[in-house]
């Protein structure tokens, strides 16, 4: 029985590494997800999915609380933009797995290290969306708001915030994709999430389980992309959408003459 089990694992590894029947292997991943035996309990798909969502939501919340006020300040005043861009670029270059490992050695195994590392990963996108949203507002609009007697706070609240909100949602959208995909590393040091299936499947040569974890992360990322895409369209101010032409096609005068 042990020999047959070893043969099964080796054959799966051969199919996975040598490009065997990948379609069947992918089907095994979907079958693993649909198996009701993998739901419920501490390591069930439902529990691990909720853990992944909780980690990603917490990271986005912390990163937004840090990055949005800084980005709005930079976008409104125009000061510190070079520093913000430089720091964002430097942070993007940090390897997340290496950062998680360093933090885990410093503060211990658990959820704290991956959350801090993922917050560092999410901040640049949200920061860029915040200050670029303010910078995208035409200076003439802001000058007109000052001319009618608006205070700086009123300009921020009534002009820059609504007009810059779509770009901020775009930054959150990008950060969400990065966080959901990278949050799989949280389980590397016992943080939980869907990465549990990927690391466990890789360790035990259960490639159907590993593919199932990967499929779940991809689906979750696509759902996040769709939700933020809808929100990004909904937050566009009505005055902006009302000013857009409904039909920008130009018909030639020759065509009108032929019709008439």
CA distances from residue 177 to 10, 52, 215 in whole angstroms, order as listed:
34, 13, 14
Closest by CA position to 205, among listed 3, 17, 24 = 17
**Distance from CA of residue 183 to its chain's centroid?**
10
What DSSP string describes 17-28?
A: HTT-SHHHHHHH
Residue 91 — pLDDT band, cuts 50, 70, 90? confident
Where are any strands of DSSP class E within the chain?
A: none
Q: What is the pLDDT averaged over residues 133-159? A: 85
pLDDT at residue 15, as a whole number: 52
Mean pLDDT across the stretch 192-218? 90
Buried b (16+ CB within 10 A) or exposed e, 16-30: beeeeeeeeeeebbe
- pTM exceeding 0.85: no
What pLDDT score does 21 carry? 57
Higher pLDDT, 246 or 83: 83
What is the mean predicted confidence (pLDDT) over 196-203?
Answer: 89
- pLDDT exceeding 70 applies to what percent of the chain? 82
How large is the average pLDDT for residues 90-96? 80
The mean of the pLDDT values for the chain is: 81
| Dihedral of alpha carbons 133, 137, 142, 144, sign | negative
Instruction: Kindly indicate the confidence band of residue 12, based on its pLDDT and cuts at 50, 70 and 90.
Output: low
Residue in 137, 166, 136 with CA at minimum distance from that of residue 228: 166
What is the arithmetic mean of pLDDT over 33-47?
88
Average pLDDT over residues 120-142: 88
Is the CA virtual torsion 170, 176, 178, 181 positive or negative?
Answer: negative
What confidence tens digit (pLDDT) does each residue in 57-74 have? 999 999 999 999 999 988
- Tell me which fold the domain 51-192 belongs to: MetI-like fold (1.10.3720)
Give the three-class secondary structure for 142: helix
Of 140, 147, 145, 139, which is closest to residue 159 (Cα–Cα)? Answer: 145
Q: Is the pLDDT of residue 156 over 90?
A: no
Instruction: Give the tens place of pLDDT for each residue, 207-230.
Output: 889 999 999 999 999 999 999 999
């Amino acid at each position: 029985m042990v020999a047959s089990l070893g043969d099964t694992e080796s054959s799966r590894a051969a199919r996975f590494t040598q490009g065997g029947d990948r379609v069947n292997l992918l089907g095994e991943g979907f079958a693993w997800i649909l198996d009701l035996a993998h739901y419920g309990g501490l390591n069930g798909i439902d529990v691990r999915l909720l853990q992944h969502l909780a980690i990603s939501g917490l990271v986005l919340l912390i990163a937004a609380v840090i990055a949005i006020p800084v980005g709005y300040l930079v976008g409104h005043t125009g000061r510190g933009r070079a520093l913000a861009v430089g720091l964002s670029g430097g942070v993007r270059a940090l390897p997340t797995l290496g950062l998680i490992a360093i933090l885990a050695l410093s503060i211990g195994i658990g959820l704290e290290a991956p959350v801090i590392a993922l917050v560092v990963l999410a901040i640049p996108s949200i920061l860029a969306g915040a200050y670029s949203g303010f910078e995208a507002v035409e200076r003439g609009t802001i000058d007109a708001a000052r001319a009618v007697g608006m205070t700086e706070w009123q300009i921020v609240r009534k002009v820059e915030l609504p007009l810059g909100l779509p770009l901020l949602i775009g930054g959150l959208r990008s950060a969400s994709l990065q966080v959901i995909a990278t949050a799989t590393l949280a389980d590397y040091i016992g943080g939980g999430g869907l990465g549990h299936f990927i690391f466990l499947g890789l360790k035990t040569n259960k490639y159907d389980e590993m593919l199932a974890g990967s499929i779940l992360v991809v689906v979750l990322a696509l759902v996040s992309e769709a939700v933020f895409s809808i929100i990004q369209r909904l937050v566009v101010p009505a005055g902006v959408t009302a000013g857009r032409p409904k039909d920008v096609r130009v018909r030639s005068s020759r065509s009108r003459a032929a019709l008439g």
